[in-house]
Chains A and B, each alone.
Chain A
Amino acid sequence: MKRPTSKYVVTPPRMTPDAIAALERAGFSRRDLLKGAGALIVSFSIAGSSNAPGEAPGIKNSSSGAMLPIPLDQVDSWVAIAQDESVTGYTGKCEFGQGFRTVQYQLIADELYVPLERVTLVVCDTALTPDQGITSGSQSHPTEFGPNGLRQALATAREALFRMASDQLGVPVDQLAVQDGVIFVQGDPSQSVTYGQLIGNQRFDLTVDRAAIPKDPSTYTVLGTSVPRYEIPEKVTGQFEYVQSVRLPGMLHGKVVRPPVIGATVISVDESSVANLPGNVRVVVRNDFVGVVADKQWQAAQAAQALVVSWSAGVGLPAQQDLYDYMRQQPSRDSYTVLADDVDARFGEAANIISATYLTPYQMHGSIGASAAVADVQGIGPNGAATIWSASQGVYPQRDSVAQVLGIPKENIRVIFREGSGCYGLNGADTVCYDAALLSQAVGQPVRVQLTRKDEMAAGENYGPPYIIDLRAGLNEKGQIIVWDYEGFTVTKGNRPTEAAPGNIITGALVGFPTPPLVPGGGTPPTSYSNNGNADSSYGAGCVAGQCGGTGTVESERILTHTVESPFFTGPLRSPGRLQNTFANESFIDELAAFAQEDPIQYRLRHLADPRLIDVLNAAANAAGWKARPSPKGGRGATGIATGRGVACVLYEGNNGYSAMVAEVQVDLTTGQVTVTRIVTSQDSGPVSNPDGLRNQMEGGALQGMSRCLREEVTWDDQKVTSIDWRTYPVFHWGEPLPVIETILLNPLDKPQMGAGECTITLAAAAIANGIFDATGARVRQIPFTNARVLAALQGT
């Protein structure tokens, strides 16, 4: 055995460079930080008080030490230019691995005509960046390129710099040009001035000008190119600082002890049960929130396991096999997307009426990294203060809601975003912030909490909700759809945390904040058309109050969604509602095409109106080598492998990204096993900011969508969730056959930027189900498409 040649000093924990930089930005000096734990007294009395390069000049703290809001309408809230010509952008749109941080670098470089190397970006920090709400819903592109986003502030800044240069050089603005941050006289580059000379380290003191003209996308030189993602070299060398790797001086480790069954409450906690464990274990109880803190992470984990807690019985759960019946029987909140007054009459005229029901279960975000946060909370009440490192999709809502949990004014709380593992929506990132903050407040030291796999899967996250979708359509003698009737049932409990509702997530509810109950009612006719949830199919004309906003031609529609109370917490999961709705709508159109004995794409085209949706559909079909013929293909045997192809298309959220997909599948007729062999998918999200980044999103979305529809389903018994790890919540793993994925990008430079990250995941279930049908004639209408369900469908053919 080797002998040690050096003694590793374990305490105090050192900080990573990123954590030091973050605290320095908050006003701590490097010297203070290096002194160790004793120096870390969180106070905002000096936070944001400097205007050093890289500081958002828009931030000033009040005399009380509390932070003031960062005004969204001020250029200084978005961009700062230093004397050394560096440009710092400030954004409330965070990075989760989707590559939008790099796109924002590109936007700054392009809009300001500066080299990428001069650009830095401060992302999602309540002390430094503007409040842009949540990074979700494929809204980053439309927001940052829209009238209230980063691009408009940059355009305002550029126009202001031109005016300043005009004054300084004595030449009209229209005779000036710019390159690499140097404004010069056209025809006489010797007359020039740099951005740093014009505004370096000074405030713009300008309101964002809605009339400022952003660059025409056809003139982009940085956007539209595949700039490599800035953080990948750090990620593949282990140098990247995730929220899971934030380390503070004096930091302790916490773990939570969740109720063992849904709805159980604490009767008593036996602290003596962990008294003899190593690591200075402390137990923290607040109402039904139970946690432990120890010096080391494993010590905390052992203490959480050993802690004896007496819990009440649970509230009981509806039997899983009865879920869909249960959902139909609960009091509901109803909402119409479309309600034409001739629906019943048109069904009366129909030559044929077709109906089908589609089912999607509860599914999880299932982030590979269990959620983590680090919190440093000092005190309670008006003089309390806190800093939280978080992978939340919304640092401001996290700040405002954790303020309620801690009893500390939100102005005294700073939430700093650090990337976690991919979240795909509302995973445990927010609730674990509460966990860390509560534990830190109780022990008066910084605490890191990383949930266990089971904490996160069984009770930590807000699941994507199940859907029942009943569809009915009336066709005329020519097979044309004349009426479409959608009736959906879904569930809800909780949601993203807000200042008014910290009880929207598990930890908030455990400490006693109510989860706002579902209020039955609604069901009034719509007053305007919004297809944000994609309840309306691509073939609906979407006519409401005389205006038609849909992508299709069927005018007689009734689109009604019932929402009922969920036994489990629910929340946005990548393509929330839209995946479930599109599975149903795009499967059903295929059923209608089959009934009409028409080619599935030709039948779709017959009912589509939106030229961009038609274009993406044709693009995918052409790239896939689609040969027009009706489904099913026919001629399969009773055993062996059957092959087929399926298609689906959608305008995501009704206005936020056009996409189509062709999936080629193999079905093992003996086992029911479905293997996807090829996915061809097209997308039109307006001008493409980063082609390779978009392809990465499309490829990942397609495969994740495949996992969702083939494998994923939350399971439970009469008391508790039983899908608590990767064995009990199966997903698509490495080692299984991979489909070939081909991506086709449409790039209309004359259209606004749209969302890009959730299109392909929305389409995979329907494209694959339609492929199974084409191969076998068996229609699978329930996700996941397990072998048993496929076999059952095969037996029905």
Chain B
Amino acid sequence: MPVYSLTVNGQPYSVEVDPPSTPLLYVLMDDLELNGPKFGCGLAQCGACTVLLDGQPIRSCVRQMASVDGHEITTIEGLGTKENPHPIQTAFTEEQAVQCAFCISGIMLYGKTFIDQTPGATEEQIIAALNGLLCRCYSHARMVRALLRYAQEVQP
């Protein structure tokens, strides 16, 4: 049984994986007991499982453990907590920008990454950066407002 090492939200872990095909999402959900990344489709079609791999958003439901061995993973738990939230989490709370929020990992992590890397990002660009993600409650209008609020905050 292969053993993989990875850093998740700043904590180093060593995880035995059996079978070796186990995707990263299952390790995060079932072994590390994280609630942020979620199983939506298992097909990289919705983004509910999104995490940051070395700072870039990926779909953890189709990412095999072998490919993340030795890398850094950040989930939305790693951004901040209820008591000490990250500014993007504050923005989503301020705008009340969810309904069920099952999709939120994808929306926040793709949105945050794009905005962090794109000074002066426009609304149109931000929407395009979320291309392919899904929110079935359709809280889109608020999510856009939250992302624009975050963009204002980090790049006033």
Which of A's residues lie within 8 Å of B, judged by CB? Answer: 1-8, 10, 13-14, 16, 96-99, 226, 228-229, 232-242, 244-245, 247, 253, 277-279, 296-299, 302, 366-370, 419-422, 424, 450, 452-453, 692-693, 696-697, 699-704, 707, 725-727, 731-735, 737-738, 740-741
Residue B152 is within 8 A (CB to CB) of chain A in the complex: no
Partner of A299, one of B7, B19, B99, B128: B19
Contacts of A240 in B (CB 8 A): 35, 101
Residue B43 is within 8 A (CB to CB) of chain A in the complex: yes
Chain B interfacial residues counted at CB < 8 A: 73
Please provide the 6 A-B residue pairs with the shortest distance between their CB atoms, ordered closest to farther.
A238-B36, A735-B131, A97-B100, A4-B14, A703-B138, A421-B102
| B19 engages A237 (CB within 8 Å) | no
| B96 engages A237 (CB within 8 Å) | no
**A368 CA to B33 CA, complexed, in Å:** 20
| A2 engages B70 (CB within 8 Å) | yes
Could you list 7 examples of A-B contacts with CB < 8 Å?
A: A10-B16, A241-B35, A245-B33, A368-B102, A734-B130, A734-B140, A737-B127
| B96 engages A228 (CB within 8 Å) | yes
**A727 CA to B41 CA, complexed, in Å:** 11
| A734 engages B14 (CB within 8 Å) | no
Partner of A2, one of B5, B75, B141: B5
A297-B29, A419-B100, A421-B136 known; A302 vs B19 contact (CB < 8 Å): yes
Residue B113 is within 8 A (CB to CB) of chain A in the complex: no
Shortest distance from the beta carbon of B18 to any chain A beta carbon, whole Å: 5
Q: How many A-B residue pairs have CB under 8 A?
A: 228
Residue of A nearest to B103 (CB): A368
| B35 engages A700 (CB within 8 Å) | no
Partner of A244, one of B38, B98, B127: B38
| B102 engages A10 (CB within 8 Å) | no
| A237 engages B81 (CB within 8 Å) | yes
| A244 engages B137 (CB within 8 Å) | no
Shortest distance from the beta carbon of A113 to any chain B beta carbon, whole Å: 26
A233-B93, A236-B85, A278-B19 known; A296 vs B30 contact (CB < 8 Å): yes
Residue B121 is within 8 A (CB to CB) of chain A in the complex: no
| B40 engages A369 (CB within 8 Å) | yes
Residue B48 is within 8 A (CB to CB) of chain A in the complex: yes
**A369 CA to B79 CA, complexed, in Å:** 22
Contacts of A740 in B (CB 8 A): 141
Which of B's residues lie within 8 Å of A, judged by CB? Answer: 3, 5, 7, 11-16, 18-19, 21-23, 26, 29-43, 45-46, 48, 69-70, 75-77, 79-82, 85, 89, 92-93, 96, 98-105, 107-108, 127-128, 130-142, 144
**A8 CA to B81 CA, complexed, in Å:** 22
**A67 CA to B105 CA, complexed, in Å:** 40
| B14 engages A16 (CB within 8 Å) | no
| B101 engages A235 (CB within 8 Å) | yes
Contacts of A14 in B (CB 8 A): 33
Contacts of A2 in B (CB 8 A): 5, 7, 12, 70
Shortest distance from the beta carbon of A393 to any chain B beta carbon, whole Å: 13
A8-B14, A302-B19, A734-B140 known; A236 vs B98 contact (CB < 8 Å): yes
**A499 CA to B50 CA, complexed, in Å:** 40
Residue of A nearest to B32 (CB): A8
| A296 engages B26 (CB within 8 Å) | yes
| B21 engages A298 (CB within 8 Å) | yes
**A7 CA to B12 CA, complexed, in Å:** 8
**A450 CA to B14 CA, complexed, in Å:** 26
**A51 CA to B138 CA, complexed, in Å:** 42
| A453 engages B100 (CB within 8 Å) | no
| A732 engages B138 (CB within 8 Å) | yes
| B142 engages A1 (CB within 8 Å) | no
Contacts of A99 in B (CB 8 A): 99
**A1 CA to B66 CA, complexed, in Å:** 12
Shortest distance from the beta carbon of A710 to any chain B beta carbon, whole Å: 12
Shortest distance from the beta carbon of A554 to any chain B beta carbon, whole Å: 34
A234-B82, A368-B102, A704-B136 known; A239 vs B31 contact (CB < 8 Å): no
| A232 engages B137 (CB within 8 Å) | no
| A726 engages B26 (CB within 8 Å) | no
| B128 engages A735 (CB within 8 Å) | yes
**A245 CA to B32 CA, complexed, in Å:** 12
| B134 engages A734 (CB within 8 Å) | yes
Contacts of A733 in B (CB 8 A): 131-134
A240-B35, A278-B19, A741-B141 known; A367 vs B130 contact (CB < 8 Å): no
Shortest distance from the beta carbon of B113 to any chain A beta carbon, whole Å: 14
**A696 CA to B48 CA, complexed, in Å:** 21
Contacts of A693 in B (CB 8 A): 96
Shortest distance from the beta carbon of A449 to any chain B beta carbon, whole Å: 12
Contacts of B101 in A (CB 8 A): 97, 232, 235-236, 240
A236-B98, A368-B40 known; A734 vs B93 contact (CB < 8 Å): no
**A702 CA to B142 CA, complexed, in Å:** 13
**A6 CA to B32 CA, complexed, in Å:** 13
A238-B75, A734-B133 known; A700 vs B33 contact (CB < 8 Å): no
11 further A-B contacts with Cβ under 8 Å, apart from A236-B93, A726-B43, A734-B135, are A233-B85, A239-B77, A239-B82, A245-B29, A245-B35, A298-B21, A368-B46, A368-B48, A369-B48, A696-B96, A738-B140
Residue of B nearest to A277 (CB): B19
**A37 CA to B13 CA, complexed, in Å:** 24
| B42 engages A238 (CB within 8 Å) | no
Shortest distance from the beta carbon of B62 to any chain A beta carbon, whole Å: 12
Partner of A707, one of B26, B80, B133, B138: B138
Contacts of B136 in A (CB 8 A): 366-368, 421-422, 424, 704, 731
| B76 engages A237 (CB within 8 Å) | yes
Contacts of A13 in B (CB 8 A): 30, 33
Shortest distance from the beta carbon of A226 to any chain B beta carbon, whole Å: 8
| B99 engages A236 (CB within 8 Å) | no
Contacts of A734 in B (CB 8 A): 107, 127, 130-135, 140
Residue of A nearest to B123 (CB): A738
Shortest distance from the beta carbon of A33 to any chain B beta carbon, whole Å: 15
**A696 CA to B80 CA, complexed, in Å:** 25
| A238 engages B21 (CB within 8 Å) | no
Contacts of A702 in B (CB 8 A): 138
| A700 engages B127 (CB within 8 Å) | no
Contacts of A450 in B (CB 8 A): 39
A237-B81, A703-B140 known; A232 vs B98 contact (CB < 8 Å): yes
Partner of B14, one of A6, A98, A241, A245: A6
Among B31, B35, B48, find the residue whose CB has the most chain A CB atoms closer than 10 A.
B35
**A3 CA to B12 CA, complexed, in Å:** 9
